[in-house]
Amino acid sequence: MTIKAVKRLKRKITVENLWIYILKIIMDHGEIRGYDARKYLREEYGIKVPAITTYTVIYRMEREGLIKKIGNGDKYYKITEKGYEAFKQGINIIKESLSKLDPSHSIREKTSSPDQSMDETNHSPSTPLNNTS
């Protein structure tokens, strides 16, 4: 059984943020072509996206100054200083979010069910998030 919320989360942290994976791929492999990015996304991260999606993200990254096209023949890309900075900031955001969500940092007892959890600040039952997207 696939839970829609989990499916949405996976898409948000993978397909909708390919830029951070592409920066990591360039950092690991050096200069790459768009084809290489798509191949490594699939092989290393299990992210399967259409070629047009990969190229669209790459072109946007180039316009934003995260990567730079090099060479005269095939289009190879390398990471820029701005790209390194964006990667560091992105990873820090992910780490911060994970540390807040990590179960070992939870104030709720492990035996309580989500319906019985109490908000620590006002001692009332927690309100579920209403996500209509």
Per-residue pLDDT of the chain (133 residues; tens, 9 = 90+): 789 999 999 999 999 999 999 999 999 999 999 999 999 999 999 999 999 999 999 999 999 999 999 987 788 999 999 999 999 999 999 999 988 898 675 554 444 444 444 444 444 444 444 444 4
Q: Which of 27, 48, 24 minimizes the C-alpha distance to 38?
A: 48
- Cβ count within 10 A of residue 35: 13
pLDDT for 104 = 74
pLDDT at residue number 2? 80
pLDDT value, residue 120: 42
What are residue 115's phi and psi, to 5 degrees?
-70, -25
pLDDT at 105: 56
What pLDDT does residue 47 have?
96
Q: What's the pLDDT score for residue 59?
A: 97
Which of left, alpha, beta for 70 (phi over 0: left; psi -120 to 50: alpha)?
A: beta
Residue 12 phi, psi dihedral angles, 5° rounding: -65, -40
Q: State how far the Cα of 76 lies from the Cα of 73, in Å rounded to an integer.
A: 9
Could you give all domains of the chain from N- to C-terminal order, each with its CATH number?
4-89 (1.10.10.10)
**Cβ pair 15, 49 in contact under 8 A:** yes
pLDDT value, residue 71:
83
What is this structure's pTM?
0.74
- Residue 133: CA atoms inside 13 Å, Cβ hemisphere, count? 6
Find the radius of gyration of the CA atoms of the chain.
19
